Amino acid sequence: MMALLLLVSLLGTNAFTSSGPPKPEKVNQLRQELIDRSMIARTYAFRAMQYYTILSRERRRQSTGQEFSLDKTTAIKHYFALTKIRDGEHNQAEAIYRRIISEIMNEDEDGHCDHSKLAVTTLLLALHCQRMGDIKKARSVFLNFFREAIVGNEGHIDECACSAKVLGAFSLFEFKQGNKKKAYEIAQKAVELDRELMPLLKWKQFEEVKKRGMKREFQNINGRVLFSFNAKATAGFHLTVSIPPGPTSMFLSTPSRERTLRGASDGSFEIEVGLAAAQAP
């Protein structure tokens, strides 16, 4: 029926006002235009679904037993935003992504929104904001998802590969901004959601963050070496302090013992403290 109406509209009013029937060549031309338009629409929808499938990593979710259903409407909207980006209409693309997120957030399915669709759209919007150089806006996109997926769930964390992927991307984003400690904490949350992301915590950069957490920070003020501990020691620790040569005193405080060390003009102290489990101030 729709095809007939479209064909009639293509023929125009002249098809009914003219004295004779339209020429066969004209009818064939219009019929071919109708077929071409239909093929273009189908191709567009097919590409949109392919694009959405790749982004959503459907196979991986199926292998982990998580439910996932393709949403044709969302797929077409995502692809439409992509075409806007390709055409240089970046503000329109951002508006499309934000509208999709708003629609997903307003959906009420058992009291929760669809995190899989929300995760994909969040990643696309955050990536778009980063490409546009708007770091503040990109961080806001990640934080909004974090509040919805984690904080909004009263801190209860269920395994969720799609949410973990967003937090993994959030972690890398903060790492690039120089916030390495924050990035590591977010990465830990991502691993809680998806254990397959465990290799993320073994990255060399994050290994350095962990080691830095175990290091003691020193500051030389008027010849005094001040230091503080901010990491847990599960079986004690061995500490070597390099200081300028000359008389120096150092005060070590832990929950189980206190001691003052003096002397050493050779430029270093070596301290060994054996603790079952201690948090040094």
How far is the CA of 156 from the CAs of 58, 67, 160, in angstroms? 25, 19, 12
pLDDT digits (tens, 9 = 90+) for 191-243: 888 888 888 878 777 777 666 654 444 444 444 444 444 434 333 444 444 44
In a domain, 61, yes or no: no
Q: How confident is the model at residue 116 (pLDDT cuts 50, 70, 90)?
A: confident
Q: Which residues contact 24 (CB under 8 A, 6 or more apart)?
A: none
State how far the Cα of 71 lies from the Cα of 261, in Å rounded to an integer: 68
Place of tokens 């959601």: 193
Q: Which residues sit opposite 273 in a β-bridge?
A: 237
Domain, as residue range, for 124: 68-212
**Same-domain pairing of 101 and 191:** yes
**Same-domain pairing of 107 and 134:** yes
Q: Which of 212, 243, 263 is the last residue of a domain?
A: 212
Share of the chain above pLDDT 70, in %: 43
**Same-domain pairing of 164 and 264:** no
**Same-domain pairing of 85 and 204:** yes
In a domain, 193, yes or no: yes
- Give pLDDT, residue 80: 86
- Give pLDDT, residue 273: 39
- Give pLDDT, residue 262: 41
**Same-domain pairing of 251 and 151:** no
The CA-based angle 130-135-141, given to 5 degrees, is 80
**Same-domain pairing of 189 and 242:** no
In a domain, 59, yes or no: no
Q: Which of 153, 186, 212 is the last residue of a domain?
A: 212
CATH number of the CATH domain containing 122: 1.25.40.10
pLDDT digits (tens, 9 = 90+) for 11-28: 454 444 455 566 667 666
**Same-domain pairing of 125 and 189:** yes
Residue 108 CB neighbour total at 10 angstroms: 8
Q: What are phi and psi of 208, to 5 degrees?
A: -65, -35
| AA letter at 167 | L
**Same-domain pairing of 47 and 102:** no
Q: How confident is the model at residue 258 (pLDDT cuts 50, 70, 90)?
A: very low
**Same-domain pairing of 7 and 122:** no
To the question of pTM greater than 0.75 for the whole model, the response is: no
- The candidate with the shortest Cα–Cα distance to 22, out of 11, 31, 9, 33, is 11
In a domain, 128, yes or no: yes
Q: Report residue 183 as tokens.
A: 């990035």
Judged by DSSP in three states, 202 sits in helix
Q: Which residues sit opposite 172 in a β-bridge?
A: none
pLDDT digits (tens, 9 = 90+) for 41-100: 555 555 655 555 655 554 454 444 444 444 777 888 888 888 889 899 999 999 999 999
- Give pLDDT, residue 83: 87
**Same-domain pairing of 85 and 146:** yes
In a domain, 12, yes or no: yes
State how far the Cα of 278 lies from the Cα of 54, in Å rounded to an integer: 48
**Same-domain pairing of 133 and 267:** no
Residue 75 CB neighbour total at 10 angstroms: 23
- Give pLDDT, residue 119: 86
How many domains does the chain divide into?
3
Q: How confident is the model at residue 128 (pLDDT cuts 50, 70, 90)?
A: very high
